[in-house]
């Protein structure tokens, strides 16, 4: 079974437990904290994946970092996973928990890429428009890519809309390469 599938099953169980205990928001914050730590600290991620480091040592490190700072259900899941020698799935578990939390709360993960940063007014208009069309809350991530020249690329979940000048120029270049326009002469 792949790490992602295993992490997904643990995340689902943790979400159900969090809802049952009324600690969903708190555990969500814990998983965001853990995910941020993994994304910002490569050595931490490597330590979790390192087969040479003893599992008890990994559990001690996790306890040292998180004990008393996160919900007891979060430390319990860390403990269960380290006892089963599956520490390598913890970053995937955190990401999957965040994903399932957003799905449970009807929050769409939206990424907008523009050639220049969005103004606050444009950001609010974009969020409002997406909320109106989908009926869901929006978790917006903004990216800047000057190569787009103009326009934007919008990704909502697994759907993408590319309305950039760069993509339109690329499409036009393919039309000219095709040379089908000269066949009529």
User: 3-103 — its CATH code?
Assistant: 1.10.520.20
Segment 6-22, tens digit of pLDDT: 999 999 999 999 999 99
Segment 43-70, tens digit of pLDDT: 999 999 999 999 999 999 999 999 899 9
pLDDT recorded at residue 157: 85
Question: Confidence band (pLDDT; 50, 70, 90) for 180?
Answer: low
pTM for the complete prediction? 0.79
Domain boundaries, the chain: 3-103, 107-178
Segment 109-166, tens digit of pLDDT: 999 999 999 999 999 999 999 999 999 999 999 999 999 889 999 999 889 999 998 8
Q: Between 175 and 121, where is the model more confident?
A: 121
Instruction: Say how far apart CA 79 and CA 166 lie, in whole Å.
Output: 49
Question: Confidence band (pLDDT; 50, 70, 90) for 184?
Answer: low
Q: What is the mean pLDDT of residues 165-170?
A: 88
């Amino acid at each position: 079974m792949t790490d992602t599938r295993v992490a997904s099953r643990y995340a689902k169980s943790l979400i159900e437990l969090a809802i049952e205990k009324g600690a969903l928001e708190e555990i969500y914050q814990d998983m965001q904290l853990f995910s941020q730590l993994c994304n910002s600290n490569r050595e931490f991620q490597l330590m979790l994946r390192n087969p040479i480091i003893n599992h008890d040592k990994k559990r001690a490190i996790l306890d040292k970092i998180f004990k008393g700072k996160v919900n007891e259900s979060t430390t319990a899941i860390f403990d269960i996973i380290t006892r089963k020698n599956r520490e390598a799935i913890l970053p995937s578990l955190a990401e999957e928990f965040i994903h399932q939390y957003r799905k449970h709360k009807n929050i769409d993960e939206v990424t907008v890429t523009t050639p220049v940063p969005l103004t606050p007014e444009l950001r609010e208009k974009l969020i409002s428009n997406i909320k109106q069309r989908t009926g869901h809350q929006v978790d917006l991530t903004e990216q800047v890519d000057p190569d787009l020249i103009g326009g934007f690329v919008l990704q909502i979940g697994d759907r993408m809309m590319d309305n950039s000048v760069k993509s339109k120029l690329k499409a036009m270049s393919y039309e000219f390469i095709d040379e089908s326009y000269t066949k009529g002469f």
